[in-house]
Amino acid sequence: MAFHDIFGMFGVALIVAMYLLLQTGRIDPGRPVFSVLNALGAGLVLASLAFDFNLAAAVIEGFWLLISLYGLGRALRRRRAD
């Protein structure tokens, strides 16, 4: 397994872990950490795709990253308002 594959697999693990924690009610999706870890996971997968490109995977991870960053922005704005 190449170094970029390890990055990609770690990214997948972060995304899946966050989804599992969300579905089991163990994490609040409004907390910044949820969006940060999702964005980090998507970024790592995207970085791994630079070495072994797959368009469909790049598109879904690109959207996952953008949506996670949007969620992070909302969480931070909400935190400042409180």
Q: What is the pLDDT of residues 19-55, one digit of tens each?
A: 999 999 999 999 999 999 999 999 999 999 999 999 9
Give me the mean pLDDT over the 6-31 stretch.
97
Q: How confident is the model at residue 76 (pLDDT cuts 50, 70, 90)?
A: very high
pLDDT exceeds 90 at position 3: yes
CA distances from 6 to 1, 2, 24, 65 (A): 7, 7, 27, 19
